[in-house]
Chain A
Amino acid sequence: MTEHRDYHGAKMGMWLFLFTEVLLFGGLFVLFSVTFGRFPQEFHEASQLLDVTMGTTNTVVLITSSLFAALAVTALQKGDRRLAEIFIGLTVLLACCFLVIKYFEWTHKFHVGIYPGSAAIADWAPGKQAFFSLYYTMTGLHGLHVVIGMAVFGWVWMQIRVEKCTPEYFVALENAGLYWHLVDLIWIYLFPLYYLIT
């Protein structure tokens, strides 16, 4: 069988997959909006406990990594393999930064006893508890997607090394970039909803 190469087909498949990801998070955004509608005051109070500086830093880090991902695609399209590899490296590095900041944020919260089911928050108002349940679920799932994105970029990097992803057929890198923009996009919704609604 000849190797089947269909650039438009591959892009179409990726876009469909991104739809499913949007819907996956969509279920959680529905939960968020319903719960927020029921407990606006409690969400306001709970939101003040989040660290806006860290959240903002993370937003900048993730948007910048998305820029590098886009630059990597352009570099490969223009035929500069070396530069594309460097940009992919920078993307993954910033993804790491994002996770490290997230780690410090979460461990600090755990340290002061703010996590679902902890004794410290047992007598909080239900709405405030719900805020953190949703916060950990949604940012946790988002964090998982960051990890998956890093793995995908690692795989694409290897594909470029073994010349399966080339300046002539770069759809693997392009699709990885699309995925990364989605991860970025979801964070851009999570950030104001959780950190800035106070």
Chain B
Amino acid sequence: MAVDAGFMTPGNRSWVREWLFTIDHKRIGMLYLWSVLAFFTVGVFLGLIIRLELFRPGEDFVGPQAYNAIFTLHGVIMIFLVVIPSIPAAFGNIFLPLQLGAEDVAFPRLNMFSFWLYVIGGGTALVSLFTGGGAPDTGWTFYVPFSAQTTTNVSAAVAGVFILGFSSILTGLNFIVTIHRLRAPGLTWTRLTLFAWSLYATAWIQVLATPILSITVVLIVLERMLGMGIFDPARGGDPILYQHLFWIYSHPAVYIMILPAMGVISDIIPVFCRKSIFGYKTIVGSSLAIAFAGSLVWAHHMFVSGMSDTAVMVFSLLTFIVAVPSAVKVFNWLSTMYKGSIRPEPPLIYALGFIFLFAMGGITGLVLGSAGTDMHVHDTYFVVGHFHYVIFGGTGFGMFAAIHYWFPKMYGRMYDRKQATIAAVLLVIGLNGLYFPMYLLGLAGMPRRYYDYLPQFTELHQYSTYGSWITFAGLALMIYNLIRSRYRGPEAERNPWQAATLEWTLPSPPPTHNFDREPVVTHGPYDFGEVRDHD
């Protein structure tokens, strides 16, 4: 069965010019999506190796040095190459202009340049594995003094991070200008989709926080290459300053990861409950509040590093405050579902998985944000469990929900809904199996980053490894289903979910020029009374 390929129709020019030098936001978004999924696959296999090594105490597959390199790479790939660009750069690029009724983003060439920076930065990070003194072994945080002293190839890896940061800044900048300048007539700020709002809040964090990371990694390179001694106490420097600078970026970066996922969930839940979102303005406000408050909490990563007690208490309090807007969103989603006409389609299943897993991660975040309990679980597996619940269960599930929600729009075909649902359920079970034992391990005192452990931790580590296999099965089924459906799936309608946002008024996949006539918006994004199926 032939499907009109829309913007994906092959043109007359070579593939490289058609795709790698495209300035069409949809194609750039697809390139991001494929690259992110490719890097995600690599990251997943590295994670599986970590879990296999930890199946039994002692050395099984990899030695300590290789183990350090593997968890560093797992972190660098997953954080900088997968999670940060996943939703904003991939789905934001494809769907933000469509949801705004625009022809493209504000700066299409800059957009292409951002993608190229992503490729070059990712390439540099990968090259660091095979060149120099071997793969970096510092963990993705590149803490000094170890990162300044180790003979492994840290300089190349942080250069890659610098370039990726630039890519992220330019994408954020592009989105802010796009949202301000290119909204269709009638699309007032209160008629923006919540996905667009979440990208707006995210973009501000990208623009305001990423430069600090850039300068921090530049300093590592200067420290290594020129022996600057900026973090060396013997020469008047201070290693704690590195941690401050690093987390001033990297804590807000956590919200670059989670806010767009929240936006996706806010778009999906009303559609599958046939009800306008509960508390539109509260959700918008909470996104902006998260972006703002999230920038004030960085030092909760450093409670045990020797800050003053006053600082510890202030940062602990601020950390509690940032939990409030996140909780507000969860209540809004649940209230939207209340007395809704719920259709349990795969996107909604993934969205529900998101809410559950994100709540598991968020609540344990409070344990880490309280200075007293943090002293006990600092740098243990509790932390590992917490951020994997938030990042994999949150951002990862947000991305899977987005893929299943927009798949028919992107490819003009529908996937097997039963398989998609089974995969989602497998993933929820797998993730809990994988990460819940880590909470218990952490409470029992198992430190993170260790490749070996005492025999009393064996049983919990084995549960966790079993969980990783179930997770892998879920991922494999999900990806198999998507790839097969991309070629063989039944043709999808223009608006299979009867959603009310602008992208669903276009053919699937959308044509290169987006809208034939500039749309005029007369109602909000979740006003389903207005939906007419055009097919």
A48 interface residue (CB < 8 Å to B): no
What 1/0 mask marks residues of chain A from 13 to 29 whose CB sits below 8 Å from any chain B CB?
10011011101111110
- When the two chains form the complex, which single residue of A8, A24, A125, A126 contacts B233, counting CB atoms closer than 8 Å? A126
Say yes or no: is B339 at the interface (Cβ < 8 Å to chain A).
Answer: no
Q: A13-B177, A16-B173, A130-B229 are in contact. Are A35 and B211 (CB under 8 A)?
A: no
Chain A residues whose CB sits within 8 angstroms of the CB of B233 once the complex forms: 126
Chain A contacts of B227 at CB under 8 A? 116-117
Does B210 have its Cβ within 8 Å of any Cβ on chain A?
Answer: yes
Interface residue A12 (Cβ < 8 Å from any Cβ of B): yes
| Cross-chain contact of A12 among B181, B229, B230 (Cβ < 8 A) | B181
In the complex, A197→B238 CA distance in Å?
22
What chain A residues lie within 8 Å of B216 (beta carbons)? Answer: 27
Question: Which one of B64-72, B103-111, B367-375, B475-483 is at the interface?
Answer: B103-111
Whether the pair A1, B104 counts as a contact (CB closer than 8 A) is yes
Q: Which of B168-191 contact A (CB under 8 A)?
A: 169, 173-174, 176-177, 180-182
Q: Encode B209-245 as 1/0 by CB contact (under 8 A) with A.
A: 0111011101100100011111001111110010011
CB < 8 Å: which of B219, B228, B235, B513 contacts A1? B513
Partner of A34, one of B207, B212, B238: B238
B229 touches A20 (CB 8 A): no
Q: Are A16 and B236 in contact (CB under 8 A)?
A: no
Q: Mark B145-181, 1 if CB is under 8 A from A, else 0.
A: 0000000000000000000000001000110110011
Task: Give the docked Cα–Cα distance between A136 and B103 (Å).
Answer: 46
Contact B211 A133 (CB under 8 A): no
A38 vs B248: C-alpha distance when bound (angstroms): 21
Which chain B residues lie closer than 8 Å to A56 at the CB level? none
The interface residues of chain A, by DSSP majority, are classed as helix
Across the interface, which residues of B come within 8 angstroms of A28, CB to CB? 215
Question: B429 at interface (Cβ–Cβ under 8 A)?
Answer: no
A27 interface neighbour in B104, B181, B211, Cβ under 8 Å: B211
List residues 129-144 of chain A with CB under 8 A from any CB of chain B.
129-131, 133-134, 136-137, 141
Tell me the bound Cα distance from A129 to B226 in angstroms: 14
Q: Which residue of B lies closest to A133 (CB)?
A: B228
A190 to chain B, nearest CB (A): 15
Contact of A126 among B226, B235, B248 (CB under 8 A): B235
In the bound assembly, the distance between CA atoms of A38 and B173 in angstroms comes to 37
Chain A residues, CB < 8 A from B211: 20-21, 23-24, 26-27
Instruction: Give the interface residue-count category, chain A.
Output: 35 or more
| Residue in A closest to B108 when the chains form the complex, CB atoms | A4
B165 CB to nearest chain A CB (Å):
10
**Bound complex: CA of A1 vs CA of B235, how far in Å?**
58
Query: Does any Cβ of A come within 8 Å of B208's Cβ?
Result: yes
Q: How large is the interface on B (under 10, 10 to 19, 20 to 34, 35 or more residues)?
A: 35 or more
Do A34 and B177 have beta carbons less than 8 Å apart?
A: no
Q: Does A39 have its Cβ within 8 Å of any Cβ on chain B?
A: yes
Residues of A near B245 (CB, < 8 A) are 27, 30-31
Contacts of B169 in A (CB 8 A): 20
**In the complex, what's the smallest C-beta–C-beta distance from B386 to chain A, in angstroms?**
27
Which of A9, A16, A20, A137 lies in contact with B230, CB distance below 8 A? A137
Please, which residues of chain B bring their CB within 8 A of the CB of A31?
A: 230, 241, 245
CA distance A137 to B235 in the complex (A): 15
How far, in Å, is B171 (CB) from chain A's closest CB?
Answer: 12
- Chain B CB count within 10 A is highest, among A8, A27, A127, A136, for A27
CA separation between A198 and B217, bound complex, in Å?
Answer: 31
User: Across the interface, which residues of B come within 8 angstroms of A8, CB to CB?
Assistant: 181
Instruction: Give the residues in chain A near B180, CB-CB below 8 Å.
Output: 9, 12
Q: Is the CB of B208 within 8 A of A133?
A: no
Chain B residues in 8 Å Cβ range of A4: 103-104, 106, 108
Report the minimum CB–CB distance from B155 to chain A (whole Å): 16
Please, how many angstroms separate the alpha-carbon atoms of A19 and B208 in the complex?
A: 7
* Residues of A close to B228: CB separation below 8 A: 116-117, 133, 136-137
B interface with A by C-beta (< 8 Å): 103-104, 106-108, 110, 169, 173-174, 176-177, 180-182, 207-208, 210-212, 214-216, 218-219, 222, 226-230, 233-238, 241, 244-245, 248, 513
Residues of chain A touching chain B, judged by Cβ–Cβ distance below 8 Å, are 1, 4, 6, 8-9, 12-13, 16-17, 19-21, 23-28, 30-31, 34-35, 38-39, 42, 116-117, 125-131, 133-134, 136-137, 141
Q: List 10 A-B contacts (CB under 8 A).
A: A1-B103, A6-B106, A9-B182, A13-B174, A20-B210, A26-B212, A27-B215, A117-B228, A137-B219, A137-B222
